[in-house]
Amino acid sequence: MKLIDGKAVAATLREEIASEVEAIVGGGGRAPHLVAVLVGTDGASETYVGHKERCCGEVGFRSTVRRLPETTTEEELLTLIGELNDDPQVDGFIVQLPLPGHISEQAVIEAIDPRKDVDGFHPMNVGRMTSGLPAYVSATPEGILTLLKHYNIETAGKNCVVVGRSNIVGRPMANLLSQKGWDCTVTICHSRTENLKEIVAGADIVIAALGKAEFVTADMVREGAVVIDVGITRTPSSATKSGWKLTGDVKFDEVAPKCSYITPVPGGVGPMTIIALMRNTLRAAKNEIYGN
Ligand code: GUN
């Protein structure tokens, strides 16, 4: 069994981005600028945005967090999005999800200029991605592909089972792995899937992205499978400084011995997601996807 060290791969890629930013700034250019919009005080969202902000600092990006109260109306949020769309000093921005229940996430996502949609959530980017066109791609699937490539994991012709059908992870992941170049035979499982255990047990590559702690157990995994764990369930813990412990969607201790490769939680997919967002922001600053 080989552990996929997302933290180490992310550190290498961070250095590469930092060098590129240094060259841009050294040549008289402006540092890429990422804005994160955070509505309300969801603890997990605060943590994720904090990680993104820290990484921006490490690679030399300018970073701004726009904090809005839980009571913000949809109209007020849409007004801010309009301002960010029009601001030439902002290269890319994200609106951290989930949003309070009174705000339509879809309306918000569709209001973002696709050129600044570094989360890759806008239907324009989703549609371009599914058509195999240049697009901003959702950071978690992009980060996972980078890991598979880094470890030279063979995907062509392999049976890949994606557990979870979210717009952010499961569906883009399944689509990308089925595309030319990756060439997987992909199955998506979800809460209504029958014989889920048997389907997962037939997989060469398992992507666990359903958000249920320790859902994937040893009896569901074939000997020699590659297991990618996207889960990050936070549970209270007295053993950590933060008071939280992160648990993946995979029962790591019993699944790991059966795997050829597996990602840990934390230190697997999470750091790669942040790096993919940094890369998208750098692309936005260079107008790489949509041109000038
Ligand atoms: N909530 C959970 N993951 C994400 C993400 O990648 N981007 C945003 N905007 N919100 C999230």
- For residue range 248-285, what is the model confidence (pLDDT) as tens digits? 999 999 999 999 999 999 999 999 999 999 999 999 99
According to CATH, where is 3.40.50.10860 located in the chain? 29-113
With b meaning 16 or more CB within 10 Å and e meaning fewer, what string describes 100-132?
beebeeeebbbbbbbbbbbbbbbebbbebbeee
Nearest atom within ligand 1 for CA of residue 98: 1
Amino acid type, 100: P
Cα(96) to ligand 1 centroid in Å equals 5
Q: Which CATH number fits domain 139-270: 3.30.70.600, 3.40.50.720, 3.65.10.10, 2.30.30.230?
A: 3.40.50.720
Nearest atom within ligand 1 for CA of residue 138: 6
* Helix/strand/coil for 159: strand
Q: Which of 48, 55, 137, 279 to mutate to test the pocket of ligand 1 (most atoms within 8 A of CB)?
A: 48
Catalytic residue list? 52, 96, 119
Residue nearest to atom 9 of ligand 1 (CA): 96
According to CATH, where is 3.40.50.720 located in the chain? 139-270
Q: Which CATH superfamily is domain 29-113 in?
A: Leucine Dehydrogenase, chain A, domain 1 (3.40.50.10860)
pLDDT tens per residue across span 146-200: 999 999 999 999 999 999 999 999 999 999 999 999 999 999 999 999 999 999 9
